[in-house]
Chain A
């Protein structure tokens, strides 16, 4: 793909917006459609587009494999850890109302945390699967 200048330029223009849109979907999921799952997939799509246009090695420098592997587990741990935090603070598992003084604020905080966990794991797994498949071909 070295000589496809149009693709290079268009991808360079698009990728910041894709990542920005992913973050918007991630943190605006409480108010509009979307949430961690969709945001993770969109973020992964941005990285995969980068890998397709600029090559796998360049993408691996941007998003190193050890980091991706770490994030796969970190997302699930954040989700489960939020549940344990509710347990420690005298509530039930995954009860976010006890996370803050005001139950509704606690719910907001809990939902934001677990959505972030979902987004992290989904994005990391999608990138991981793509890297694994694409890396095997060469």
Chain B
């Protein structure tokens, strides 16, 4: 049922031209995805999805809209090639998912590798009741450090591109650049 709503929202996002409505719908999309994650017992992921997807990113998109325009431009060509690429990729993904183990299958490879050790040893080794925290912060500390560095880099990138200080703003308005170019 949630998946059905998710699909309806996605189609509506594609069809609509008003970017304001699209931002609101993408917030709804994130909230529905969070609901699905809760159903899959992934509470931590759902928490993040609800906070980031439905909360912060909606606000950021709206403030971007305030800087740009509210209406999507009407495309001047028929997007045949992108459509073909999307259909081919989707078909390949569905074909790939046919070989996946069933949901909740205890014999699935992912449950055989390091998961038993995490589940059985983490109370003695780490002593943290929430296994997700134990894995994220302790067993996979390097990955989390990388994630934080990515967020740090994103913040620095925004700061450099659209600036927080007065000096940078004046320079970008004089030179007429600042919003163009540069990797995001």
Contacts and interface: CB of A to CB of B under 8 A. Distances in A.
B20 to A, nearest CB: 15
A122 interface: yes
Contact of B159 (A48, A126, A128): A128
Contact of B133 (A35, A126, A135): A35
Interface in B149-184: 149, 151-152, 154-156, 158-159, 162-165, 169
A115 B148 CA distance: 10
A129 B51 CA distance: 16
A104 interface: yes
A8 interface: no
Interface stretch (B69-77, B111-119, B137-145): B137-145
Interface in A84-138: 94, 96, 103-104, 107-108, 110-111, 114-115, 117-118, 121-122, 124-126, 128-137
Contacts of B138: 96, 107, 110-111
A71 to B, nearest CB: 10
Contacts of B148: 75-76, 79, 117-118, 121-122
A137 B179 CA distance: 13
A107 B159 contact: no
Interface in B36-89: 43-44, 47-48, 51-52, 55-56, 59-60, 63-64, 66-67
Given A132-B164, A133-B60, A135-B164, A30 B128 contact: yes
Contacts of A118: 144, 147-148
A29 B130 contact: yes
B60 A94 contact: no
Interface residues on A, range: 35 or more
A119 to B, nearest CB: 10
B56 A48 contact: yes
Contacts of B67: 133, 136-137
B47 A76 contact: no
Interface string A27-63: 0011111110110011011001000100000000000
A41 B52 contact: yes
Contacts of B125: 103-104, 107
Contacts of A108: 127-128
B164 A111 contact: no
B128 A111 contact: yes
A122 B151 contact: yes
Contact of B126 (A31, A45, A111, A124): A111
B13 interface: no
Contacts of B128: 30-31, 107-108, 111
Contacts of A38: 44, 47-48, 51
A111 B141 CA distance: 9
B155 A83 contact: no
A108 B133 CA distance: 11
Given A72-B156, A117-B148, A33 B63 contact: no
